Amino acid sequence: MEAVRDTGVSRLVLSSSGALYGEQSQQPISEGQTPKPNSPYGVSKLAAEYYVSTLGTLYEIETVALRIFNGYGPGQELTPSYPPVIPQLLKQAQVGGSLVIFGDGTQTRDFVYVDDVVDALMAAATATDVNRAVINIGSGQEVTINDLAAKVAQATGKQASVLHNRGQTAGVSRLVADVSLAQDLLGWRPRTELDRGLRLTLERDPRFQQA
């Protein structure tokens, strides 16, 4: 924020996360619901929103925070610990391994393709009357992890067995975004269905082409 101030940038768009909502009884989740982060990652994103908004006011910089839900797409990093679920399942399926799911797989998530996320970031950078806005960016579609595994198997054409690791936490039970505010303020809506997004990820990511 100090660099933004010193270089005269007029607006900053923060990539925040739907992870800061934590466990919520009301679904889909709207921006007015109280965050209840249940991970250090979620806490860090909530803190970042406060820093950006507060410093934006002090430095007279416009700010917009996009709470991106489960983003995915080609090139997504596969970290050794707690890797993102989509590239991890794609990798397991393509090498003929079992698809390992934490918990019983009934937990739900909202997966939004990277192209749609980029469109949202561009819209937030150029829209009018969005200063200090906090906006959900997701697909608006709720998918269980069990259903995701079935879609991964279909996309890869592999007959993969599913193993449930019930010793690992599955995270929050439900998570799906209300994206109506993004439509109202940014004129944005998700365009990429999950089945198509999985196919695009396989086609565009060299790691999966090599496999």
pLDDT tens readout for residues 135-187: 999 999 999 999 999 999 999 999 889 999 987 778 999 999 999 999 999 99
Write down the pLDDT at residue 146.
97
Distance separating alpha carbons of residues 84 and 77, to the nearest angstrom: 8
CATH number at 113 reads 3.40.50.720
Domain count, the chain: 1
Token pair of 3 as six digits? 């660099």
CB atoms within 10 A of CB 91: 19
Domain that holds residue 137: 2-210
Which of 144, 53, 62 minimizes the C-alpha distance to 103? 144
pLDDT in tens, 71-106: 999 999 998 878 899 999 999 999 888 999 999 999
CB atoms within 10 A of CB 43: 15
Residues assigned a catalytic role: 41
C-beta of residue 135 within 8 angstroms of C-beta of residue 186: yes
